[in-house]
Structure 1
Amino acid sequence: MAAPSSFPATSTSTSVIAFIIPILSLFALFTGAHSSTIGVEYISRLLEIQDRERAPPSVQLAAARGVLNRLIPSHSSSFDFQIISKEYCGGESCFAIDNHPSSGQLGTPEIMSERRDFKMMQISLISVHSSSAPYGLKVQVSLGSDGGEILENLALAKGNEKISGFTAVELLAGLHWYLKFWCGAHISWDKTGGAQLVTLPKPGSLPLIQDGGVLIQRPIPWNYYQNAVSSSYTFAWWDWARWEKEIDWMALQGINLPLAFTGQEAIWQKVFEKFNISGPDLGDFFGGPAFLAWSRMGNLHGDTFDENTPPIDDPEYISSLGAAIFKGMQSGDDNAVWLMQVGVGMSMEGIEQNPVVYDLMSEMAFQHNKIDVEDKNRDVIVAFPDVDPSFISTLRMPGQKYHDNRKKLSRRELLIYTADSDSFDQPHLWYSTSEVLHALELFIKSGDELSGISTYSYDLVDLTRQALAKYANELFLEVIKDYQLNDVHTVARHGKKFVDLVEDMDTLLASHDGFLLGPWLKSAKQLAQGKDQEEQFEWNARTQITMWFDNTQEEASLLRDYGNKYWSGLLRDYYGPRAAIYFKFLRESLEKGDGFGLKNWRREWIKLTNDWQNGRNVYPVQSTGSALNISRWLYNKYLRDASTYNH
């Protein structure tokens, strides 16, 4: 998985990234900053450095104006932007939204001049009404502990809006807040539906803010974004056009602390070359372009304590090692920062999915509320078991509940261990499938009215996909139960139904651009320079989403399905055929009566994987078919029967 000895040239452009703090190292997220005096003092000093090195207001305003022009060019003159001081914000970072004086509604937001004890404004009620106006909305906002209302009714009137912020990021977060809560707009990634701005009134008719305006502070200085592996699972093949969209999205979400080590290998390359290290040697040192995150974390060459046990159980040893690492950082930069457990934010391994979750999470950076999202899904299709079927449990746990008291469920309770066999987590659910099916039914019924909306189409495909994936889990358990009962005919019937379902799901995924394999492979090849690099990049792209390449002919890699995706093309040509091989061995095992041929099964599916990784066949980059019609068809075919699921 060596990277090439040369890197594509990159372009640069003035953008809000200049005001987003890049970081070099990351260990953990989602907890507050250290509460000790030393921790508070260090963070205060870091904030002072950050404020001192911030770009001039004129540059920040130009960057914010650029985002506005790219997002809604028709409204480029509808918003007045202004950079304000922390003192104006009450000592914290903030944004403020007010009517522009030209709108005829003069006044200063109450809390800007009179409420310096203000800590946080929380949206406590949002309801959308039907009215004769194009968009009707009532928002009640609570201030501090007294719960006093500052903002009550919004009205449609001609005029512009004035949005202020401590930095360009806060300013754009305020713009997003206004578009979201005053105009009913939604801003998302293109793959999940893109920016939905049809509810935005025409210039000159934007909703005015009554009673003086609104100011919202950040309760925590930093809003973090990305996992260390996001750069590989999602960003690996991006060009500048895609990066610019992401930087704009980050600013609109109020993100001011993204992980930013894109291109660090190019710097290392220049440094190593000064020490006369050859290109071939560097090629063996760097990870492949789809695995740079894996190598950046030290997983290819050795690290400190990433998912391993320290060799010495001595706190002084661990402390001295950490001190040595930080000393090395400071030797290169007096202001080096080793970020550990600071701020709030999002640390997903990949993006361009679950847009509602991430929209809410970014909003939480400006609220005191918290959310708790757990992911306990396991889908057989994209994480197929590499075990003898005799050791897979087909029984549900007695009294198992799927959407209540989820933390009481132990995944280990669903395993069967033996001394000489691999174990396999039984496919399971933590939510009520009946509720999901009811939601899907309502979605489909709304299709005639909503099918033209891209976000609806994305959600419809995603919801149908999820329901069918859980049905596939049930089918798989039926096959295993049939096998354990020595019923070869039912194994064949249920196995065929499983493979047919995977094929049908591929047809569903092909109906939306956000679920296609083709763009991933095409973007990898487009980034390459020359035919050899194109083949290498495509191999990297195919390998990352299937099985990482440290296997033998009879021993599968432990990192199989590590980066699996529900993409059209991947299901039809990889996941489906792999399942078919497994079911073939089940049938042959029962027919011959000599037990499951685990090594032979592994030999065949590993070969399937390696052949697919080395393939060069081209996949579609544009969707085909009607998402609504296909979802209706699949719902009627597989899900309408109430007995589809066991619960």
Structure 2
Amino acid sequence: MEKTVDFEKQAIAGGAALIFDGNRSIKRLCAKVFCPVEIRYAQNAVTDTLISAGTFTPDENGALCAEFATPLTASGLYLFAAGALEDVAVFENEGVNLENLYPKAFDIPLAENMLLDTVSVFTSRAGFSQYSLYTSMNGRDFSLVAVKDDEKPCGENGDTFALGGREARIIRVFFEYHSASPEAAFEKLTFTGAPSGTAPVPCPPIDIPNFADTVYAAPVTEEETLCEVAGIVERRLGAPYASWFRFVLGEKKQYDWFSVAAKDGKVEISGNDGVSLAMGLNHYLKYCCHVHLSQVGDSVRLPEDPILPERPIYRETKARVRYAYNFCTLSYTNAFFGEKEWRDELDFLALNGVNTVLDTTAGEEVWRRFLVALGYTNDAAKAFLPGPAHFAWFFMGNMFGPGGPLHDSWFVERTELARKNGRIMQRLSMRRVLQGYSGMVPTDIQKYDPTAEVIPQGTWCGLQRPSMLKTDSACFARYAALFYRIQREVLGDAVYYATDPFHEGGITGGMSPRIIAKTVLSEMQKARKDAVWIIQSWQANPTSELLLGLGEVQGGREHALILDLYAEKSPNFSDGRADNPHHGYAPEFDGTPWVYCMLNNFGGRLGLHGHLDNMARAIPQVLNACAHFAGIGMTCEASENNPVLYDFLFESVWQEDAHAPAVPVDLNDWAHAYAARRYGGESAAVNRAWDILLDTVYKAQCNMQGQGAPECIADARPAFGLKTASAWGNAAIGYPAAALCDALRLFETDKETLSASAGYRYDLVSLRQQVLSNGALSLYAQLSAAFAERDAAAFDRAADAFLSLIDKMEATTGENRYYRLSRYLDMCDARAAGGDDFAKRAYRMDAKALITTLGTFVMSEEGCGHDYANRQWAGLFSGFYKKRWMRFLENCRRELSGETPTKTDPFFYEWNWVRGVAM
């Protein structure tokens, strides 16, 4: 079924733009025109990143009908034609229930405890279905009893499974795939058996005490702060080195500060708080001991006796905010972090002076309680939450479900983890940033509260978005107050709150951004008088009208903090980006405190890439000239990559005298010193290699195409004519590929001397992999040319070479644990260990989907999300990417030999891998 889509038609250079009132699932466009028409489309209101849908030619009568095999999830279509476009009509799909997408769990309660002989599952007979089957006695813990992996359609009598008298009170069908629809096509279930006669087993409650009733609510003492910093020494250097140091908490000054000096045979590090002490420790280790500590490989070589600084060191910073994370980081990198991983991460943040940290851990417990307070059952509340790898987009208001429900143990364990992490941050004087409330509610909220005034939000990446309360409605204040009260019960208090109302294409329903801003901030301040609202400067956000609304709240814009999310490449702070019609505000966001942020990474896609020279030039400028500059931040969509960028960014704002003008560093000299400490020794050859890296992969003008690092073409879904592996990425190398080969040769010159350093070993794998990735482009070009010329022999040679190169990538990345799929999946499995069979299967599927298809069918195909988070990881090269290419290349060989190629559904094979079935 189709229906027409309303749009606003706007004239643009070379054609017309059709703007919708939100994202739509576009199936077809018709028009009268007498020339070819190129159609591009935008998603989530992004008009500066258009995706090509192809060029379409009308018939001899001027009738154009552009059919899209996979519906386009679009907020607007952009039509480019040499002639006039008339009678334009756009049609969207109608009929798919976006709240019934697979993977989805269906629980069937039985009237009493039963001894089950057989269970028959009935699904749609159009196409075939795949699913797993579970039983439970208490409704919390489910045991796997059967899996349907075959490609047979459901018969008249369903698919029957023998259970041999298994006792159960609840049966769960986890619907995982349907070949004919993105929906979970489950219809009914029947069973045979007899009552067991045993008593019902109650579902255990989720027993989580309120924050105020735990040890985490106690005030932090100075002794705890000093012990926390000393603990970093023991964990990162070793317990014997704790005796080298004396840490002293000093007075508060105008700026954050630290000092390092020799005193009584020890290294005395002073600072105004725990983070400043940790930053002082790191500065001492870098510049007195040539030690390097990072997320991805350390280099620690220390003698037994303390290395005393030759003269006192003092540093301070104007950057009162040193910020960490994008919401996406917490899914693409941190989704399955446990206590050990978070402990290492918080050490890393502290050592780099980070004092403001976005933390959504256990936000799902806040939402579970919030919905229960609104009248939802525990099961209904859990059904609203997505799988654990997709929380970022839930917290940003982009999606809800599928992938759940979470096991009850998840809420208990993550709340405890969040409280432990929060206590560590509190000891260090790090400020947690919690989720702010801007109106998100389930789409069925009016069943529970008929007074709720809601605005449907359409779709995001093909998925149904949650609804939003009308910010100016009477119930908004009540919901906001409830949310903040429950958040305080779960996580304690906070000053900073992050939320972006109507994020990435949300529909405001005609409400004024000025009123939205004023209301959201006012409700925050009711919850906490000194609350600060953190707002991402991304796409259309913030508008000048939204900024105006901030100024109408008590305390004004000092209660807001704008993250200029991609400042190292596309800054918004300088002049409001006059070339960008979304904005139009005065410099520095109309005088709102703001943070210079480095985004750099998208989706966790790997590759050597950065804008170091831009940062080296811009950060001193903003320190010297920007009155509303509040600090710096890392807002990468994923971290654990390009460690040099984080080292430079967080060091760049510390000066001997913050009142004096900041002076740019010589990047080559800085990089040589960085290499010496990261690799545990100096090397002239390595220095020359770094000179090349600064002039290629880390030079801004070589890295301005697309989003993030050039992608590895071997990670792409196989086809000819590929320009990228993901919809918004790029695979173009903006520098001579031979230069990086030279850098690798130089880098390997002193390998025997430097390979004791974990930092060197990580960087060596990174550089080798980048060279291999660059080489894949030329082999792909040979493949394409041979196929176009119908030269079967040349094609076979190029195909074999291409597959051999993927094998080399597998071997290369397998040398370092940070480049292994197994590390990621092991973390996922560890988080599921406290759950049941269902949690172990569902969490792993969610984790694997994120890095391949991005999610379910509509995210992958209609939302163009497949391979957005592609990774250059051992295990993915051999188990996923190579198998895709082998199937594609075999089909090409068939065609070249005159045979009919086998029709394939790429998503089906990719989803098989997600489900743990052979591709």
TM over 0.5: yes
Q: Identify the residue that residue 527 of structure 1 maps to in structure 2.
A: 831
Q: Does structure 2 retain, via aligned residues, the 8 Å contact 1:495–1:583? A: yes
1:238 counterpart SS class? coil
Richer in strand (by share)? 2
- Secondary structure of 2:268's partner? strand
- Name the residue aligned to 1:70: 235
Q: CA deviation at 1:506?
A: 0.6
Partner residue in 2 for 1:184: 290
**Structure 1 residues 305 and 252: alpha-carbon distance in aligned structure 2, compared to 1, 3 A threshold:** same
Task: Say if 2:741 is the partner of 1:437.
Answer: yes
1:79 paired to 2:367: no
Distance 1:358 1:68 in 2: 20
Structure 2: distance between partners of 1:241 and 1:512 = 19
Tell me the residue number matched to 2:403.
none
The residue matched to 1:345 in structure 2 has which SS? strand
Match of 2:581 in 1: none
Superposition pairs for residues 359-508 of structure 1, below 5 Å?
359-367=647-655, 368=662, 369=664, 374=703, 376=705, 377-381=709-713, 383-385=715-717, 389=720, 391=721, 427-508=731-812
Structure 1 residues 513 and 555, CA gap change in structure 2 (3 angstroms):
closer
Deviation of 1:540 after TM superposition, in Å, equals: 1.0
Relative to structure 1, is the Cα distance of residues 207 and 9 closer, same or farther in structure 2, using a 3 angstrom cutoff? farther
Q: After TM superposition, give the deviation of residue 85 of structure 1 in Å.
A: 1.5
1:279 corresponds to 2:445: no
- CA drift of 1:423 comes to 8.9
Partner AA of 1:76 in structure 2: A
Q: Answer whether contact 1:163 1:174 (CA < 8 A) is retained.
A: yes
**Alignment partner of 1:356 is 2:551:** no
Q: Is 1:382–1:561's contact at 8 Å kept on the other side of the alignment?
A: no
Q: Secondary structure at the match of 2:315?
A: strand
Kept in 1: contact 2:397–2:502 (CA 8 A)? no
User: Match of 1:171?
Assistant: 277
Aligned length: 478
What are the superposed Cα offsets for residues 435-484 of structure 1, whole Å, 9 maximum, x if unpaired? 21112112233222223332222111111111001101111122112222
Q: Measure the CA separation in 1 of the matches of 2:763 and 2:860.
A: 40
Q: Counterparts of 1:537-616 in structure 2 under 5 Å?
A: 537-551=843-857, 555=861, 558-592=864-898, 600-601=903-904, 603=905, 605-615=906-916
CA–CA separation in structure 2 for the residues paired with 1:544 and 1:2: 16
Alignment match of 2:308 (pick from 203, 207, 221) = 207
Q: What does residue range 314-325 of structure 1 map to in structure 2 within 5 Å?
A: 317-325=512-520
1:556 to 1:485, Cα distance in 2 relative to 1, 3 A: farther
Find the aligned partners of 2:746 and 2:219 in 1 and give their Cα distance. Answer: 49
Note the C-alpha offset of 1:250. 0.9
Question: Which residue of 2 is the match for residue 347 of structure 1?
Answer: 635
What pairs up with 1:285-296 in 2 under 5 angstroms?
285-296=384-395
Q: CA deviation digits over 1:573-617, x for unaligned, max 9? A: 1011112222233333444498x98xx34x1x2222011001079
One-letter amino acid of the counterpart of residue 913, structure 2: W
Question: CA 1:380–1:589 in structure 2 vs 1: closer, same or farther (change >3 Å)?
Answer: farther
Structure 1 counterpart of 2:256 = 93
Distance in structure 1 (CA, Å) of the matches to 2:640 and 2:853: 22
Normalising to structure 1: TM-score of the pair? 0.67
Are the counterparts in 1 of residues 713 and 731 from structure 2 also a CA contact under 8 Å? no
Deviation at 1:424, TM superposition (A): 9.5
Partner residue of 2:527 out of 314, 319, 332: 332
Mean alpha-carbon deviation: is it higher for 259-268 or for 452-461?
A: 452-461
Which amino acid is the alignment partner of residue 743 of structure 2? A
Structure 2 letter corresponding to 1:350 = A
Q: Which runs of 5+ in 2 are unaligned?
A: 1-102, 106-138, 142-204, 400-464, 469-500, 535-561, 564-593, 595-630, 656-661, 668-698
Q: Which of the residues 320, 340, 351 maps onto 1:221?
A: 320
Cα distance in 1 for residues equivalent to 2:747 and 2:247: 39
Report the secondary structure of 1:162's partner residue. Answer: strand
Q: Which of the pair is proportionally richer in helix?
A: 1
Q: Deviations over 1:284-338 (max 9, x none)?
A: 21121011011111111347343327667x8x81211222222333343333321
1:92 Cα deviation after fit: 1.2
Which moved further from structure 2: 373-382 or 483-492? 373-382
Q: Distance in 2 between matches of 1:476 and 1:197?
A: 41
**CA RMSD across the alignment:** 3.5
Letter in 2 for 1:443: F
In structure 1, distance between residues paired with 2:280 and 2:209: 29
- CA shift in 2, pair 1:206/1:552, >3 Å: closer
Q: 1:554 to 1:281 in 2, by over 3 A?
A: closer
Contact 2:293 2:299 (8 Å CA) reproduced: yes
Q: 1:424 to 1:559 in 2, by over 3 A?
A: closer
Q: Which of 494, 500, 503 matches 1:306?
A: 503
Q: AA paired with 1:307? A: E
Unaligned runs of 5+ in 1: 20-52, 103-158, 394-413, 416-421, 618-647
CA shift at 1:182, angstroms? 0.7
The CA distance in 2 between the partners of 1:178 and 1:440, in whole Å, is 30
Distance 2:727 2:917 in 1: 34
2:514 & 2:299 partners in 1: Cα distance?
50
- SS of structure 2 residue aligned to 1:559: coil
Q: How does 1:190-201 map to 2 (within 5 A)?
A: 192-193=296-297, 195-198=298-301, 200-201=302-303
TM-score by length of 2: 0.48
Secondary structure of the residue aligned to 1:98 is strand
Q: CA deviation at 1:554?
A: 11
SS in 1 for 2:857: coil
CA distance in structure 1 between the partners assigned to 2:294 and 2:730 by the alignment: 34
**Distance (whole Å) between structure 2 residues aligned to residue 55 and residue 375 of structure 1:** 46
Contact 1:81 1:171 in 2 (8 A): yes
- Paired amino acid for 2:282: H
Query: Secondary structure of 1:224's partner?
Result: strand
Offset of residue 188 of structure 1: 1.4
Letter in 2 for 1:611: N
How far residue 486 of structure 1 moved from its aligned partner, in angstroms, is 2.7
The answer (yes or no) to whether the contact 1:2–1:284 under 8 Å persists in 2 is: no
1:536 matched to 2:842? The reply is yes
In 2 relative to 1, CA 242–12 (structure 1 residues): closer, same or farther, beyond 3 Å? farther
Q: How does 1:250-265 map to 2 (within 5 A)?
A: 250-265=349-364
Q: For 1:513, give the aligned amino acid.
A: R
- The aligned amino acid for 2:505 is N
Query: How many angstroms does 1:269 deviate by?
Result: 1.3
**Pairwise CA distance, 1:201:** 3.0
From the superposition, tell whether residues 10 and 470 of structure 1 become closer, same or farther in structure 2 (CA, over 3 Å).
farther
Tell me how far 1:54 sits from its aligned partner: 9.4
**Contact 1:379–1:470, Cα closer than 8 Å, also in 2:** no
Tell me the equivalent position of 1:143: none
Please say which of residues 340-349 and 463-472 is displaced more in the overlay. Answer: 340-349
Measured after TM superposition, the shift of residue 382 of structure 1 is 5.3
- Partners of 2:773 and 2:892 in 1: how far apart? 21
Amino acid at match of 1:63: E
**8 Å Cα contact 2:330/2:392 also seen in 1:** yes
Contact 2:717 / 2:867 at 8 angstroms: preserved in 1? Answer: no
Partner-residue secondary structure (3-state), 1:163: strand
- Alpha-carbon distance in structure 2 between the residues aligned to 1:497 and 1:608: 24
CA distance in structure 1 between the partners assigned to 2:828 and 2:729 by the alignment: 33
